[in-house]
Structure 1
Amino acid sequence: MEHYRVAVIDDDRGNLKIADRILSLYGYTVDCLDSGEALLEYVKENKPDLILLDVHLTGINGFETLQKLKSNHEVRDIPVIILTADTESDTETKALTAGASDFVAKPFVASVLLLRVKNTIELNRLQRDLKSEAKKLSSDIIEEHRRNERLSMQVVQTLAGAVDAKDKYTNGHSTRVAEYSREIARSAGLSEKEQEKIYMMGLLHDVGKIGVPDYVINKPTKLTPEEFDIIKTHPGVGYDILKNISEMPQLAVAARWHHERYDGTGYPDGLKGEDIPMEVRIITVADAYDAMSSRRSYHDVYAQEYIRSEFSNNMGTQFDPKFAQIMLDMIDEDTEYSMREDPDSYRVGDNGVTVEQNINSDKDLVFGFLSMLEAGGLDTAIGMKYCMNDTEFYAEMLTEYTGSMDDRIRHLEECIACGNSDQYRVYVHSLKSASKTIGAISISEKAAKLEEAAVSGDWKLIVDTTPDVIAELRGTVGSILMAMSIYGL
């Protein structure tokens, strides 16, 4: 991997530490800053490859900082990923409208953060390469055409990767759908040119998921009707993104209609039978196959025989019978069940990152430590997930959390004393995010309600409830310190 520099801006030391640990572990040089003002000074002398910028900062907030960056022609091309613990889609929309390249939810999931950083840097580099190539006039027209084709494919693949990165369970989904689609097209007797066209369409069929909030895509339980309505907007969003690519209008077609059904009961337009373009009918089969043969937030990999029965039972209803039969033939030929998500890609844990646990080789000691934290009210499974399943790093984050308690309490009490709801929101937002990172879910949820109260101006709720949250924070910190003392951490 090339050597890249990333600037991370967050006024919470815990968030800075965990971002630094994740990115440094994978070879990035990380510069940590604690305010928007510090970033604006920093870019006068430095030009990182990427900026990770928190929304809620003391001083000028993330959106104001982003606006100042984009108005500076010397640094406006540096890609910015917005960091936020907000769950509202308005924050994400506002970030993208303001010029952010992407957004990442806090607390960080290591695999998602790494993929977003990698894809954003690579996409920005490719865009720069494309601009550079556009300025050059090659005497060899054929070679120039081939080079542009390769670059276009790289851009498409990177964009597909950025889509997959939104869902920690769908790593490689777009590529697998593209490959299955190409194989179905080959078996159907289509030309190599048509196969490659379908491959490109398959890569970008889900591009509209860029506009779907992370909390909906990654929800591990059944979606509410309202959340499913949000999911159902992604074909239209994908169509809007791709419709202006006049050289290949089929890309937009696949994005819009890949959830149509052969019997006409699909969405968004209720197309039926051969009114659905042939390429899309192929991609629909490939998409359904990969959804069943790879992990999702709501199911594991299905047995091959179950997948076969689904295609057999839904020929002529959900699927074009011709292409469903080709898939059945492919399943029958795959006697080793190799046509699925690579099992080795998810044997390392929920966060997708293998990290050696260095705290102690004695499993009983680790179990005892975590059990004591659980007894003190922490959800250690969540805390360990956000700390890359590294117990030593989890202990570091707990130390950071306990060490910041006095400052957090002082800031909250001072804001109440002077009636400063804007600053109160910043500090309680930080408490919400930091608490979730270590698994203090009760505190995080109560802080989230207080943040909502600060936004709505419900000062009575803030005054009445903050003392209880502070008391719970003190109790939780006391339990953490006791566990760390007993186990020598």
Structure 2
Amino acid sequence: MALTDRTDNKKTQILIVSMNDRARRELQNGLSALGYECYTCSDGESALGLMKQRLFDVVITSAELLGMSGIQLARAISRIHPHMPIIMTSLRPDPAQIPQALASGACDLIGEMCSAEEFRAIIERNLDRRAAANRRIASDRADILFKAICAMTAAIDAKSHYAARHSYRVTQLCMMIGSRLGLSEQQRLTLELAAQIHDIGKVGTPDTVLTKPDVLTDEEWVDVLKHPALGGAFLANVPELVEIASVIRHHHEHFDGTGYPDGLQGEAIPLFARIIAVADAYDAMTSDRPYRKAMTHEQAAEELRRNSGTQFDGELVEHLLAALTEKSAERRAA
């Protein structure tokens, strides 16, 4: 199964990080001429900042950087995007560097002065490798994992009367959005899995918080806010689920960059995470809580639209509301 959220024919997005101005410029020009869309930074801190604003397909970073080293940058990227292919370069590649580079999350260590054609071969090899690994999610092992994790999620939902079948409803809403986006069958399967287990990180949330029949305190909210990062960390250790781990980690990011845990914004947030954010919020608003009654559809729709462009991707909000309107019309006609 291809676990990509790229639904169009956009160019492959590459981030190049090097303090060598000439090498950085020459590589950008060479790869751009080969059809890649390239962005550049001279240091690791700037690269991480740019990655909060854009979603890249590949990162090429020099091992020799000022401030944050290339090894430290690779570790930081791998923590946020476990599936991201990272190609590390060095002015003087040393075989002794390879174990450290691979341990940091890099998939290759090569000479910084390789030609653009050589870089293209390495980029495509790593993209093919990632695609092949992603397809393994359709294997028997992934199916077993899926069932086991869904059982865990159902157990979490069952802890609270008010959360009962929440994951199921969110999944149905996500699939409605996915249908309107024209996702492929593989993408729909990926979205379905991510939606089913989006709250898996709540296995680390105290039962007293999950079952509390009242408004949470600030301290209890801190426990709740940890669940996306915890869920992503759980799944990042399963090779077949690393892309879904990124979706789950980021399903509480806000479109304007004010969400958590990493403050990503806009299209830097994985598409499936943006879809889940809208569906999750709609279900939460239209479900009863001990401290408030459920909103009507009209009230929830107004709230989603009011937060479009800030908390939510406005295009996805409109897709969900249009799908719900169509479903309501079908029910009335039946």
TM-score normalised by L of structure 2: 0.54
Q: Quick check: 1:182–1:196 contact (8 Å CA) kept in 2?
A: no
Structure-2 residue corresponding to 1:161: 154
**1:164 Cα deviation after fit:** 1.0
Q: Quick check: 2:215–2:291 contact (8 Å CA) kept in 1?
A: yes
| Amino acid paired to 1:297 | P
1:203 partnered with 2:196: yes
1:75-474 aligned at under 5 Å gives the runs 148=141, 150-335=143-328
SS state of the match for residue 285, structure 1?
helix
Q: Quick check: 2:160–2:210 contact (8 Å CA) kept in 1?
A: yes
| Amino acid paired to 2:169 | R
**Structure 1: runs of 5 or more not aligned:** 1-144, 339-489
Q: Quick check: 2:287–2:294 contact (8 Å CA) kept in 1?
A: yes
CA pair 307-178 structure 1, distance change in 2 beyond 3 A: same
SS state of the match for residue 181, structure 1?
helix
- The separation in 1 between residues aligned to 2:196 and 2:141, in whole angstroms, is 18
Q: Quick check: 2:167–2:196 contact (8 Å CA) kept in 1?
A: yes
Instruction: Choose 1 or 2 for highest CA Rg.
Output: 1
**1:325 Cα deviation after fit:** 0.8
| Amino acid paired to 1:299 | R
Structure number with the bigger relative contact order (C-alpha 8 A, sep ≥ 6) is: 2
SS state of the match for residue 241, structure 2?
coil
SS state of the match for residue 263, structure 1?
coil
CA pair 227-164 structure 1, distance change in 2 beyond 3 A: same
Structure-1 residue corresponding to 2:74: none
| Amino acid paired to 1:187 | R
Q: Deviations over 1:299-327 (max 9, x none)?
A: 33211110111122111111111111101
Q: Deviations over 1:23-46 (max 9, x none)?
A: xxxxxxxxxxxxxxxxxxxxxxxx
**1:336 Cα deviation after fit:** 7.3
Q: Quick check: 1:294–1:301 contact (8 Å CA) kept in 2?
A: yes
CA pair 251-269 structure 1, distance change in 2 beyond 3 A: same
- The separation in 2 between residues aligned to 1:336 and 1:213, in whole angstroms, is 42
SS state of the match for residue 215, structure 2?
coil
Structure-1 residue corresponding to 2:31: none
Q: Could you say what the CA RMSD is over the residues aligned between the two structures, in angstroms?
A: 2.1
Q: Quick check: 2:235–2:241 contact (8 Å CA) kept in 1?
A: no
**1:157 Cα deviation after fit:** 2.2
- The separation in 2 between residues aligned to 1:279 and 1:232, in whole angstroms, is 19
- The separation in 2 between residues aligned to 1:208 and 1:149, in whole angstroms, is 19
| Amino acid paired to 2:163 | T
**1:335 Cα deviation after fit:** 2.9
**1:286 Cα deviation after fit:** 0.9
| Amino acid paired to 2:219 | E
**1:159 Cα deviation after fit:** 1.9
SS state of the match for residue 295, structure 2?
coil
Percent of aligned positions with the same letter in both sequences?
Answer: 39
| Amino acid paired to 1:322 | E
Q: Quick check: 2:149–2:200 contact (8 Å CA) kept in 1?
A: no
**1:280 Cα deviation after fit:** 0.5
- The separation in 1 between residues aligned to 2:263 and 2:149, in whole angstroms, is 28
**Structure 2: runs of 5 or more not aligned:** 1-137
Q: Deviations over 1:359-398 (max 9, x none)?
A: xxxxxxxxxxxxxxxxxxxxxxxxxxxxxxxxxxxxxxxx
SS state of the match for residue 248, structure 1?
helix
| Amino acid paired to 1:278 | L
Q: For this pair of structures, how many residues does the alignment match?
A: 194
Q: Quick check: 1:239–1:256 contact (8 Å CA) kept in 2?
A: yes
TM-score normalised by L of structure 1: 0.38
CA pair 311-152 structure 1, distance change in 2 beyond 3 A: same
CA pair 232-146 structure 1, distance change in 2 beyond 3 A: closer
